[in-house]
Chain A
Amino acid sequence: MVELKVNGAVRQVDAAPETPLLYVLREDLQLNGAKFGCGLGQCGACTVAIDGAPAFSCLLPVGLLAGREITTVEGLGSPDKPGPLQQAFIDEQAAQCGYCIAGMVMRAHTLLARNPSPTDDEILEHMSPNLCRCGAHMRIVAAIRRASSRKEASRSQRGAL
């Protein structure tokens, strides 16, 4: 049995300690936001926040996560009540196929929590480990800008970076 703190709740999971967090989230906890992409920490589709920092959940055995605060995209809101960052992604229509988006949202979340008004350079720098192969980057950046507290963010138009 492994005890995990996920989205504010303590969860008991019957999993071997070497099981990657991603598998436990998806298969044991039915938190299917985080996706399996490459399994090698190269694409970012599995990104979650651990104690407020972005982490690739495909590369993290649950046995190493005792006492750590895990946040997944489900922890930011729901389809009925999306959180502000999720709403910004909807408003900017910042997804094409959508496979990378849960990871993108979580990586962006860790940036805005630490720096509520990042510059475009800071957004690009922070988001660079996460890949999107549809080419939705411009809208993703626009969504992050919209969710930030930057003054000009409210004027942001779709795709106008």
Chain B
Amino acid sequence: MRFGHLVTLLIVVALVGFGLTFLQSRPLKPVDPPRRQSFDDAQVRRGATLAAIGDCASCHTAPNGPAYAGGVALETPFGVIHGTNITPDPDTGIGRWSFAAFERAMREGTDQAGNRLYPAFPYNHFAKLTDDDLKALYAFVMTRQPVRAQTPENRLRFPYSIRGLVTFWNWLYLDDKPFKPDPRQSDEWSRGAYLVEALAHCGACHTPRTKWGGENSKARFDGGDAEGWWAPPLNGSTPALEPWDAERLTAYLRSWDDRHGGAVGPMAAVTANLAKAPDADVKAIAVYIASHFGQPDVGKKVRLEVLLSRPEPDLGDDAGLARGRDVFKGVCAQCHETGAQVPFTVQNLAQHTSLFAPTPDNVLRVALHGIRTPAGGFGPIMPGFAGSLTPQQLGDLARYLRARFTDLPPWPDPTAAARRLMNQPEGPAPAPAVAPKAWATAQ
């Protein structure tokens, strides 16, 4: 009897021990924060470019907060998780991380202490970075201004609050095979493929996720979700009609394209970063993404021509659509009915992808909060109407836009969506080109 208990106890201890060792990794030795002089200037500069293409700041720099000091709250289906402080502060940042620790975090999603990181951090992409690029990124982050800022606690639902469980996620979704160029494709395409898959992690938002939060490899670039915004498909499955090619994508990714418009929502930060990246890299990304869109679809081309040339459709006796038209004529038409005479407007709203979206949310978010250009920056600007239009008026407007500028069925209940979105915070303002604080204290 007693012997039986002992055996059970031993088995339990063994299982727990095994579980702990395998749900975690060994801690790596802390180092003294490396000195600035230990990094080569050119390497730091290259790291800065890579960090811009990788869009590190979107998750690691809080709105109006110090660069890379973390604290950005990300809503996920599993709860709220916070971007961490990746400045070289020895206590609250990664100042004591050796390159080996940084590399393990980037490639395996395990921090210096051996804890699993959550895959909101896209290490499943970064695993494919070259050693040289990882070294440049390390040189870049370790030479930032150290900021003492404790990252807030995550608020994840049980059992997702157990970090060790990410081990199983890694079995399912972590592909750490190095990036291999496709010999049948051009060097430019391969460079784009590398940048997109290993660094820019476009699929993190533009590929739908499985129930367990992994990118669905059977639906690559079929469209997904980005912090509540619809991230449209980056392939032929897009419902939008205006075709994309490498040239249009290059323009869009750097600033604005006159046949599609510009980026809004979380994508605005991406394009603001890419505007600073080397031309050749942005063009390579565009070439790779354009290859997923494929050749323009003839059926779509005909549908678009019909939409662009048709007169305003007959609204029948639909009172809601008529009210929506009144809102459009009174509020929107001054800019949007000028046939692109006003800078940064497309010729016809039928060219905007968001009107073809499965939900009115993207359109409504723009109508509510407008489009802002960073202070000191140059780009599209649109006033928001959250304070001046009612949810009913916004819902009517969305119904009218869908009926007027697309040939798709109406959205189910845009007014309810407008009411829901109106009560949500606007989200972070675009990162200013000149930080307001620096501007203010310089006086």
Q: Measuring CB to CB, which residues of chain A are less than 8 angstroms from any residue of chain B?
A: 17-18, 20, 39-42, 50-56, 59-61, 63-64, 110, 120-121, 124-125, 128-129, 138, 141, 159-161
| Interface residue B327 (Cβ < 8 Å from any Cβ of A) | yes
Chain B residue contacts of A39, Cβ below 8 A: 334
Residue among A42, A63, A129 making CB contact with B326, cutoff 8 Å:
A63
CB of A41 within 8 A of CB of B383, answer yes
Q: How far, in whole Å, are A28 and B429 apart by their CA atoms in the complex? A: 37
| Stretch of B193-201, B234-242, B386-394 that contacts chain A | B386-394
Q: How far, in whole Å, are A161 and B442 apart by their CA atoms in the complex? A: 9
Q: How far, in whole Å, are A54 and B64 apart by their CA atoms in the complex? A: 22
Knowing A40-B335, A60-B330 are in contact, say whether A129-B387 is a contact too (CB < 8 A).
no
Chain B residue contacts of A54, Cβ below 8 A: 387
Contacts of B348-399 to chain A: CB distance below 8 A: 372, 375, 381-383, 385-389, 393
Q: Measuring CB to CB, which residues of chain B are less than 8 angstroms from any residue of chain A?
A: 64, 326-327, 329-331, 334-335, 342, 372, 375, 381-383, 385-389, 393, 429, 436-437, 439-440, 443
CB distance from B111 to the nearest CB of A (A): 31
Chain B residue contacts of A40, Cβ below 8 A: 334-335, 342
Q: How far, in whole Å, are A161 and B326 apart by their CA atoms in the complex? A: 44
CB distance from A68 to the nearest CB of B (A): 8
CB of A51 within 8 A of CB of B326, answer no
CB distance from B68 to the nearest CB of A (A): 19
Residue among A55, A120, A125, A141 making CB contact with B387, cutoff 8 Å:
A55
Q: List 24 A-B contacts (CB under 8 A).
A: A18-B330, A40-B342, A42-B381, A42-B383, A50-B387, A50-B388, A53-B386, A53-B387, A54-B387, A55-B387, A59-B330, A59-B331, A61-B329, A63-B326, A64-B327, A64-B388, A64-B389, A120-B437, A121-B64, A128-B372, A129-B372, A138-B443, A141-B440, A160-B443
CB of B326 within 8 A of CB of A128, answer no
Closest 7 CB pairs of A and B: A53-B387, A61-B330, A55-B388, A41-B383, A124-B436, A161-B443, A18-B330
Q: How far, in whole Å, are A39 and B334 apart by their CA atoms in the complex? A: 8
CB of A59 within 8 A of CB of B64, answer no
Q: Which residue of B lies closest to A160 (CB)?
A: B443
Chain A residue contacts of B329, Cβ below 8 A: 18, 61
CB of A159 within 8 A of CB of B443, answer yes
Q: Which residue of A lies closest to B441 (CB)?
A: A161
CB of A20 within 8 A of CB of B330, answer yes
CB of A121 within 8 A of CB of B436, answer yes
CB distance from B349 to the nearest CB of A (A): 16
Residue among A42, A51, A124 making CB contact with B440, cutoff 8 Å:
A124
CB of A59 within 8 A of CB of B440, answer no
Q: How far, in whole Å, are A54 and B386 apart by their CA atoms in the complex? A: 9
Chain B residue contacts of A161, Cβ below 8 A: 440, 443
